[in-house]
Structure 1
Amino acid sequence: MSCSMRSLSEDEDRYMKSFQLFLECSSEHQCMQDFIHIMLPDILASIGTGKANVNVMGVGSGTGKIDLEMLAKLHLKHPAVTITNQVVEPSAQQIHMYKVLVSQNPNLDFIKFIWNKMTAAEFENHWNQNNFKEKMDFIHMIQMLYYVKDPVATVSFYQSLLNENGKLLIILVSGKSGWGKLWGNFRVQLCNPEISQYVTSGDIKAYMDDNAVNYQNFQLPSQLDITECFTEGDKKGELLLDFLTEVLDFSSSAPPELKARVLDMLRHPDCSKEVDGRVIFNNSLEVLVVGRGG
C-alpha cells in the first residue's frame, strides 16, 4: 500500500458509514438470509442431537443481525436445547449495537450471551493462555477473514475447537467475483498486510484441498450498484470506493494513475456489467462448511 494511503479499518466511523451504504446498495444481506432460511437448517440438523446445551461462537459478529437470524434457525431445529453464544468482536460500537438488538428481542431467553471484545487473534491467545477445553458445536466466520494476519491459520485454530459433530461455517467473497478480480490485480497497491488481507473463498478451498479437508460449499449470487463511483466528487461514490478498496478516502489519497486503473478495473466486464445505464458489480459470495475432522 502506498504510504499516502491508510486502511479504511483505521477509521471506524468512516468504515461503518461505508459498510452501511454497501448494504443498502447491494443484495448481500438478502442472499445471506436466503441461505439461512433455505440451506442452513439442514447444516444445523445434527449438531444438537442428544444435547441439553449447544455451544455457538460468532467470530467477527458485527452488530449481530445475521447472528440472531442463525440462532433463531438453530432454535427452531432444536427447540429443547439452550444455547451458549460466544460473541467475538473487536468493535465496542458494534458490540453495543448487538446488545441493543438483543435487548429489543424478548424471545431470546434460551440464549446465554458471552461477550468478548477481542479480535480473532486476541481471542485465540486468550483461549490458549487459559487452557480452555470447552468445545463448540457451531462456529461461524462471516466476511471476517480479511482482517486476520494468517487466514489459513485462523481457520485451522477455530476448526480445532469443534465438537465431534460440530460445524464451522465460513462466508467469503467468491474467487470468481468482482472482488476476486479487483484484489487479484491490485493486492500490492491496496492491501496493508498488517491490517487486512486479500483472501477469497478460492484461497481457503485451495488450503482445504491441499490438506484433504472435506467441506461443503454453496454459491450465493450477489450484486452491488457502484454507478456513483464513476462520478467525480459524489459522496456516495466515494464511500463505496473506500469500501471496495479498503482504503480510507481513496478518491483523494490514491495516486491519480492508480485511481484511474482501479476505476477501469471496476468497470471491466470481469468485475461488472451495465444494466439500464447502471454499473452492477459482481459481489457474489461463497459459503464453506467444514467439520472437526474435515
Structure 2
Amino acid sequence: MSSAPDTTNSTSGAGSIRSLYSDTGRYLQSFGAFLKDSDEHEAIINWIKTYMDEMIVHLGGKKDLRLMSVGCGDGQVDLVVIEKLRNAHFQNIHVTLIDPSGEQTDRCRTLLQSLTTSEEGQAQVTLTFKTTSFEDYIATFEASGEALPKYDMVYLVQMLYYVKNPFSVLENSIKSLEGTGRLFLIHVSGHSGYAKVWKKFGPRLPQDDNCNYTTADDIRKLCDQLGDHVHVDQTEIESTFNIGSDLRTSLTGQLAVDFIVEAAEFVEKAPEPLKSEVLDLIASDECTKKNEKGEMSFNNNLSAITMYVR
C-alpha cells in the first residue's frame, strides 16, 4: 500500500476476513451494487467529455492522432474518448489499448469494433489491442532496445490501484508522450470517504496483491517526483455512492461496506472492535451525508490529474 496510514491501534484484525478479490462471487455482487448505487461512471464520463473538448482545441493542428489507453478494461471510457475525437476535424486516429485481462480485452474489442467504420466527416479509427500488463508492454521495448512509441494522448482511468510500481507506470507513460502530448488519469480522491477509511484502517484490513489502498494524493506525490519539466494539474470530480441507512443488517449496506474496505463479508466476519470502528467511521460526517430518512450518501469523490512535458 502506497499511502501513509494512521498506524494507531494497528494491531492486525485481518486474520478472520478475506480480501474481496479472493471471492469472485462476492466481488461481482458488491461491484454490481456499486455500479447501480453510485454516479461514478456518469461523473467520469462528464469530466472526460469536457477534457476532450479542450484536447480538440489543443491538438487542432494535427490530422493524425495516436492514443494509448493503459488499463482499458471493457472499453467504456475509450468509447467516449474515441467518439468525441473522431467527430472532430482529425482524419486518422490510431489507438493502442492495453489490458492484462483477455476477457476484458475481448469485451473492449466487441464494444469498440463499430468505431472502425467511419462515415463522412469522421476520422478513420484503427485499434491495436495488447493483452498484457503495461509493465510487460514496456519491458518488450527495453529488451529489444527499440524506442517507445510516441502518443498524443495517454490515459489511465481507475487502474493505478492494480500495479506494483505506480511511479514506473507514470514515468514510462510520460516518456511515451509526443512533444505536445497530454496525459490524464483518474483515481479515487484523497478527500473521499475511501481515503479516510483506508488511511485509518488499511493496516488492519486484508492486504492483496491485486489492489492497493492508494489515493490521488499518493499519486500526486509520485507525479511531483517526475521532475520540474513535467507540469501537473489536479481537479476534484464530485461523486456519491448511496449506501442505504443500515450498514449492519441490510444487504445494500453490507455490500457497500465490502466494496469500501475491499474485504469479503466484512460485516459478518470482521472481529470487534474493528467492525464497529470501521462502520462508525463510514457512517460518520467525515465520510457520508445523511438525508431526512437517514439514507447515507458516501463521499465517492475522484481526482483527475493531467500532465504534460513543458
Return the TM-score normalized by structure 1.
Answer: 0.88
- 1:94-138 C-alpha deviation (Å, 9 max, x unpaired): 222222212466746822222222233333323433444211211
- Who is 1:122 aligned against? 136
Worse-superposed segment, 88-97 or 121-130: 121-130
Q: Which amino acid aligns with 1:113?
A: L
Aligned residues: 290
- Who is 2:125 aligned against? 111
* Cα 1:103–1:256 shift into 2, 3 Å: farther
Counterparts of 1:56 and 1:200, CA distance in 2: 25
Contact kept in structure 2, 1:191 and 1:197, CA below 8 Å: no
Q: Give, in angstroms, the shift of residue 51 of structure 1.
A: 4.1
* Cα 1:39–1:56 shift into 2, 3 Å: closer
Counterparts of 1:90 and 1:251, CA distance in 2: 32
Worse-superposed segment, 16-25 or 133-142: 16-25
- Who is 2:34 aligned against? 22
- Who is 1:151 aligned against? 166
- Who is 1:65 aligned against? 76
Match of 1:235 among 238, 251, 259: 251
Counterparts of 2:298 and 2:242, CA distance in 1: 6
State which structure, 1 or 2, has the greater radius of gyration over its C-alpha atoms: 2
Contact kept in structure 2, 1:86 and 1:114, CA below 8 Å: yes
* Cα 1:252–1:186 shift into 2, 3 Å: same
Q: Which amino acid aligns with 1:36?
A: I
* Cα 1:154–1:3 shift into 2, 3 Å: farther
* Cα 1:239–1:166 shift into 2, 3 Å: same
DSSP 3-state at the match of 1:230:
coil
Alignment of 1:85-96 (within 5 A): 85-96=95-106
* Cα 1:137–1:154 shift into 2, 3 Å: same
Q: Which amino acid aligns with 1:118?
A: T
Counterparts of 1:146 and 1:262, CA distance in 2: 21
Counterparts of 2:105 and 2:128, CA distance in 1: 11
DSSP 3-state at the match of 1:22:
helix
Match of 1:218 among 235, 247, 254: 235
Q: Which amino acid aligns with 2:231?
A: N
Q: Does 1:183 align with 2:198?
A: yes
Match of 2:274 among 258, 277, 291: 258
- Who is 1:32 aligned against? 44
- Who is 1:76 aligned against? 87
Worse-superposed segment, 4-13 or 176-185: 4-13
Contact kept in structure 2, 1:84 and 1:113, CA below 8 Å: yes
Q: Give, in angstroms, the shift of residue 145 of structure 1.
A: 0.8
Q: Give, in angstroms, the shift of residue 204 of structure 1.
A: 2.1
Return the TM-score normalized by structure 2.
Answer: 0.84
* Cα 1:104–1:113 shift into 2, 3 Å: closer
Q: Which amino acid aligns with 2:86?
A: H
* Cα 1:21–1:287 shift into 2, 3 Å: same
- 1:56-112 C-alpha deviation (Å, 9 max, x unpaired): 1111111111111011122233432x2221111222332222222124667468222
Q: Give, in angstroms, the shift of residue 281 of structure 1.
A: 0.5
Worse-superposed segment, 8-17 or 117-126: 8-17
Worse-superposed segment, 156-165 or 39-48: 39-48
DSSP 3-state at the match of 2:231:
coil
Percent identity of paired positions between Structure 1 and Structure 2: 29
Worse-superposed segment, 106-115 or 271-280: 106-115
Match of 1:8 among 20, 30, 36: 20
Q: Which amino acid aligns with 1:85?
A: V
* Cα 1:156–1:286 shift into 2, 3 Å: same
- Please list every run of 5 or more consecutive structure 1 residues that lacks an aligned counterpart in the other structure: none
Counterparts of 1:57 and 1:43, CA distance in 2: 14
Contact kept in structure 2, 1:45 and 1:77, CA below 8 Å: no
Contact kept in structure 2, 1:55 and 1:83, CA below 8 Å: yes
- Who is 1:289 aligned against? 306
Q: Give, in angstroms, the shift of residue 12 of structure 1.
A: 4.5
Contact kept in structure 1, 2:99 and 2:133, CA below 8 Å: yes
- Who is 2:181 aligned against? 166
- 1:124-181 C-alpha deviation (Å, 9 max, x unpaired): 3234334442112111111111111122222112111111111111101111111111
